[in-house]
Structure 1
Amino acid sequence: MKTYLVGGAVRDELLGLPVKDRDWVVTGATPDEMLQQGFKQVGADFPVFLHPDTREEYALARTERKQGRGYHGFTVYSAPDVTLEEDLRRRDLTINAMAKTTEGELVDPFGGREDVQARSLRHVSEAFAEDPLRILRTARFAARLQPLGFTVAEPTMALMRQMVKNGEVEHLVPERVWQEIQRALHENEPGTFFEVLRDCGALATIVPELDRDDALSVALSALRCVHNSEAETSPRFAALMSSLTPDEARNRAAQLKAPNDCQDLARLTTSLLPQIRAMTSYRAESLLEVLDEADVWRRADRFAELLQTLNCALPDTEQKKLGWLESAQHAATGVQAKDLMAQGYRGKDLGRAIRNERLRRISEL
């Protein structure tokens, strides 16, 4: 029975990056032997255990064999006779297929250290083609490591293109696609994720509305801008959708099964952008229409995220309009229904009185 540190911890250590998670592979052991040593089994599909003290994950060495299409359809074999090299061979990229012994010796059967030095994202073996999710994972690693100079190796890009051509990407379920997109939106250079998908042809399947040079360049410019403001997921996704029509954005967000807050902000951004672009001067009526549609009176936090997104989706020449909206919001938010009720307004008359008072305050700015 031997234990090895594997994957991202080894890679990040070689890169001089902080090691966040440490995963281990165990060879020559059975599940019963792990349980006898106090480990707690947590893996349902294959034997993964939590260390009794550190709570770090220890997985028994395993191999995988493809049985169907998509990222499902794998049969897993885990037994004491599976070697470390066999376990590492099933991994996606060479930089993730390295291990370290408990004595600190590097085990690198597939040239991962050389690819770290060359800043190259290269697949371990042709088994990469068995799992289309690896296309998205490779794009996400490119987004994470782009600031360090990493790019996708040409043989790997060629293999990804062939996988797309073979229709493998079409078998990915929306939940897994969204999971990778959400992670990618928060990587160091999120735009790279979508550029890699474009270059291998997968973007035409995953977000076909962005598979146009004009739409993608506008979307990535907005996304990179929002990323620099350390935004939450919903403004990032809304920025990505900002070059689409409202119908396109709404349909794509729904098909990706994005969370409701992401779908909501993407819909609001794409529907309000044309209205804001159409403003040629400070008009209280137009500003109030935008504020009403954004429901700023009840959703002030969402409106702040909307402004954050619009700030990156609008050109510099139109930024002053966001100032108009912010000023209008501050002026009109102070209208209190109770004050107008004290003046005798009720029912529909109260609603009209609130709107008129908001208009008056915005007009006086």
Structure 2
Amino acid sequence: MLRPYRIGILEGDGIGPEIVPATRTVVDAAVEAAGGPPVEWVPLPIGTSAIETHGSPLPDSTLAALEGLEAWILGPHDSASYPEAFRGELTPGGRIRKHFDLFANIRPACALPGVRAVSPKMDLVLVRENTEGFYADRNMAVGSGEFMPTPDVALAVGVITRAACERIAHTAFDLASRRRKRVTVVHKANVLSHTTGLFRDVCREVGRLYPSVTVDDAHVDAMAALLVRRGEEFDVVVTENMFGDILSDLAAELSGSLGTAASINASRTKTMAQAAHGAAPDIAGQDCADPIALMLSAAMLLDRVGAREDVYFIDAARRIEDAVRATVAAGIATPDLGGTASTTGFTEAVVQRLRA
């Protein structure tokens, strides 16, 4: 018998307890259809339920358990609803990213058949450096990158290092070499010449190691306009943290919806599937949340695991992508995409295609 592969599962808050089990069901069906080793799921507490049972939204026991895993699926968190004592802390997802140095945030933006999109031919992947830039929760080993010398002055420190630029550039160029062989480096070197200029220059240096890949670059403001005007022309886009956060949400909406936007956070050895959208507490418990983003995030996770562990998982990833696309193309979708299907109904339709 094939050895089970262990994957962590963290439901989170809001719609998490609905879309995470739905994703688990789809992964199980896809792995079974591919003939691969079964998944041994490792449930771990996080979020509001963890505050109630463990006194923390991210218990030390959860972090310790993740140390022993290579992959896990994280549901959305609603840190704004946590008790006051926890609101000033890093979010659970942020703590996990920082603890495990998940330096690459990889976000595809690909239009789904049957979904209205501003850019229906868009098929790009945005590769975002996830540990530096101007985001205060990621700049420092201890403390914050934001500070106030007086009550009326606020400052932020942006950090760009050659080492971080090199590893995210290799991630982008390796991905492009398996796609349409084009990388666009996004920066703002005309103003932030030392920081984003270093990012641009290091990415171009790494690009010379991939002669089959074409490299170009764009200022971030121009790139936003280009995504709107001719987003279908781009293949892999690599950029720093804050620019990547903004552009990936823009690309997701242009290609259809943030509700369908897949995302993984990864290091060289660990992968976390985490949809780009939030916890949507206003629709929690109504069985109407769209599980597509997390399902496609899980497919990305399986593809990455398959490259290291077992090719069956690569096959399972493709099966999930194909089944989701076929289900939406058949007119089965949740209300956010103009459909009438429930979360449960949509999941059942995907599973039926996987088992057909």
Q: Under TM normalisation by the shorter chain, which class is it?
A: under 0.3
Larger radius of gyration: 1
Bigger relative contact order, structure 1 or 2, given CA contacts below 8 A and separation 6+? 2
1 or 2, which has the higher helix percentage?
1
**1 or 2, which has the higher strand percentage?**
2
- TM-score under structure 2 normalisation? 0.27
